[in-house]
């Protein structure tokens, strides 16, 4: 259910990238505000969209985009629910405003897109909060609205973003997660190749959807296509344009890890930590710090700087204990295992044994138990040889 709702709500909210240009002033305000949101310059975006609302009081955009500021505040730390209520209030205001327009003009494309997009964003947050029934209701309500708007303006390139996302993921998800195949019978069939082409078209030729299209291309090439060269291409575009967006920067670091470019990954995650120390928005959470110190520790290990690696893996484990609630994270399990190997390398076998046994007390992650048992046997053999 979560995956299906993911597909539907992304199709819906992505469609709001389509905006009908009313004047150069309108275009410049919307473009500036969108870039300020992606640049995590929320105070500046608020000023920009206040002007948009004053200059265009009868257009939904002036109400919709301030809600997107809160959406990005939520994305920067989804574990924090402090912005949920005001986000829902802003979204409800957009929907009510669009309904008033549609009462007089049922085919008003702007009102249709912004209403459908607002419902879609609301549904996406409900997916994050695991409010499945309400999210499903949003998907059911919004899909026909967006489809109608797309029929009224079929040549708009920005619309390709939403349909590209749906086509790709509706094709890929049933293969990745066979459990959803029966559910997909109730949804339009996807087309992976078409989805990629639609996203590439939006990324290259879209007016307002370029950034979002590049973000999805980066993530799908990295996660599903296993083409990290192309993923890096889009990652570089995003981080060059928005160097202080923590989501984009951390993605760039992860892609470097997948490419085994540990020098670049180390540099990126050290930069992430520095920005956290300077209180850059989105860089100060424990979740961000945990990821950064883990990859920095790994590079220390690669370089044979074992004491420094121990220090950072222990920091990662400390962060994990504050974050992990239901079960141990992969970060905690791997850090614990690596701490054991580092102590073993340093000849501190008792300490190593303790951490290997800690791994065995945790859930199985990848082949963590097999490795811990193998390493314990190895220490036992070494200890027995030393006794002879």
* Residue position matching structure tokens 């050290």: 270
Cα gap 363→13, rounded to integer Å: 37
| Confidence label for 1 from pLDDT (cuts 50, 70 and 90) | very low
Q: Which residues of 156-181 are buried (b: 16+ CB within 10 A; e: fewer)?
A: bbbbbbbbbbbbbbbbbbbeeeeebe
Rg (CA), the chain: 24
CATH number, domain at 320? 1.25.40.10
Among candidate residues 106, 125, 156, the one where a domain is terminated: 156
Domain check: are 147 and 290 in the same one? no
Cα gap 166→187, rounded to integer Å: 10
Per-residue pLDDT reduced to its tens digit, 140-179: 787 788 788 888 888 778 778 877 887 888 888 777 777 6
DSSP 279: T
* Contact status, residue 119 vs residue 142, Cβ threshold 8 Å: yes
pLDDT at 113 over 50: yes
- 349 in a structural domain: yes
| Total number of domains constituting the chain | 2
* Contact status, residue 142 vs residue 114, Cβ threshold 8 Å: no
Domain check: are 152 and 289 in the same one? no
* Contact status, residue 173 vs residue 7, Cβ threshold 8 Å: yes
Cα gap 39→246, rounded to integer Å: 9
pLDDT at 11 over 70: no
- 237 in a structural domain: no
* Contact status, residue 10 vs residue 163, Cβ threshold 8 Å: no
Distance of CA 237 to the CA centre of its chain: 16
Average the pLDDT over each of 183-192, 248-257, 293-302 and give the range with the smallest value: 183-192
Q: Which residue blocks in the chain are alpha helix, DSSP H?
A: 2-14, 24-38, 42-55, 61-76, 84-104, 109-128, 132-152, 159-176, 192-205, 210-223, 228-241, 246-258, 262-277, 286-302, 306-323, 330-345, 349-361, 368-387
For 231, phi then psi, to 5°, come to -60, -40
- 243 in a structural domain: no
pLDDT at 69 over 50: yes
Cα gap 372→357, rounded to integer Å: 7
Residue 109: closest CA among 21, 195, 189, 191: 21
* Contact status, residue 33 vs residue 275, Cβ threshold 8 Å: no
Residue 321 has a CB neighbour count (10 Å cut-off) of: 10
- 368 in a structural domain: yes
Instruction: Give me 165's structure tokens.
Output: 């996302």
DSSP conformation letters of 15-40: GGG------HHHHHHHHHHHHHHHTT
Domain check: are 8 and 152 in the same one? yes
pLDDT on residue 7: 53
Cα gap 278→156, rounded to integer Å: 42
pLDDT at 186 over 70: no
**What percent of the chain stands above pLDDT 70?**
92
Among candidate residues 156, 187, 206, the one where a domain is terminated: 156
**Domain encompassing residue 321:** 285-387
- 267 in a structural domain: no
pTM: 0.88
Per-residue pLDDT reduced to its tens digit, 190-235: 899 999 999 999 999 988 889 989 999 999 999 999 999 999 999 9
- 257 in a structural domain: no
pLDDT at 379 over 60: yes
- 173 in a structural domain: no
Per-residue pLDDT reduced to its tens digit, 286-331: 999 999 999 999 999 999 999 999 999 999 999 999 999 889 999 9
Among candidate residues 137, 156, 175, the one where a domain is terminated: 156
Instruction: Give me 204's structure tokens.
Output: 């290259």
- 346 in a structural domain: yes
């Amino acid at each position: 259910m979560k995956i299906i709702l993911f597909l539907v709500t992304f199709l819906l909210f992505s469609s709001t990238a389509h905006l009908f240009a009313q004047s150069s002033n309108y275009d410049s305000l919307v473009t500036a505000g969108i870039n300020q949101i992606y640049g995590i310059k929320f105070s500046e975006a608020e000023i920009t969209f206040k002007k948009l609302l004053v200059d265009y009081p009868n257009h939904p955009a002036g109400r919709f985009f301030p809600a997107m500021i809160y959406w990005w505040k939520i994305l920067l730390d989804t574990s924090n629910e402090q912005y949920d209520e005001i986000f829902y209030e802003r979204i409800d205001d957009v929907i009510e405003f669009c309904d008033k327009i549609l009462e007089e003009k049922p085919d008003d494309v702007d009102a249709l897109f912004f209403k459908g997009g607002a419902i879609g964003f609301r549904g996406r947050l409900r997916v994050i909060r695991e409010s499945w029934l309400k999210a499903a209701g949003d998907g059911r309500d919004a899909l026909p609205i967006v489809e109608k708007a797309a029929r009224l303006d079929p040549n708009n390139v920005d619309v390709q973003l939403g349909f590209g996302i749906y086509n790709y993921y509706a094709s890929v998800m049933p293969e990745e997660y066979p459990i959803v195949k029966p559910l997909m019978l109730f949804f339009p069939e996807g087309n992976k190749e078409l989805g990629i082409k639609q996203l590439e078209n939006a990324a290259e030729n879209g007016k307002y959807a370029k950034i979002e299209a590049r973000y999805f291309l980066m993530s799908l090439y990295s996660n599903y296509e296993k083409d990290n060269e192309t993923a890096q291409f889009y990652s570089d575009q995003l981080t060059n344009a928005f160097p202080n967006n923590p989501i984009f920067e951390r993605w760039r670091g992860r892609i470097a890890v997948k490419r085994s470019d540990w020098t670049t990954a180390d540099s990126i995650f050290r930069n992430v930590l520095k920005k956290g120390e300077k209180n850059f928005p989105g860089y100060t959470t424990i979740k961000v710090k945990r990821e950064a110190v883990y990859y920095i520790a790994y590079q220390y290990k690669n370089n044979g700087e074992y004491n420094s690696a121990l220090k950072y893996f222990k920091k990662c484990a400390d962060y994990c204990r504050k974050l992990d609630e239901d079960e141990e994270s992969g970060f905690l399990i791997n850090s614990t295992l690596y701490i054991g190997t580092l102590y073993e390398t340093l000849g501190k076998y008792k300490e190593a044994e303790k951490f290997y046994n800690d791994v065995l007390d945790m859930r199985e992650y990848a082949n963590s138990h097999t490795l811990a048992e193998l390493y314990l046997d190895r220490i036992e053999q070494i200890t027995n040889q030393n006794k002879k």
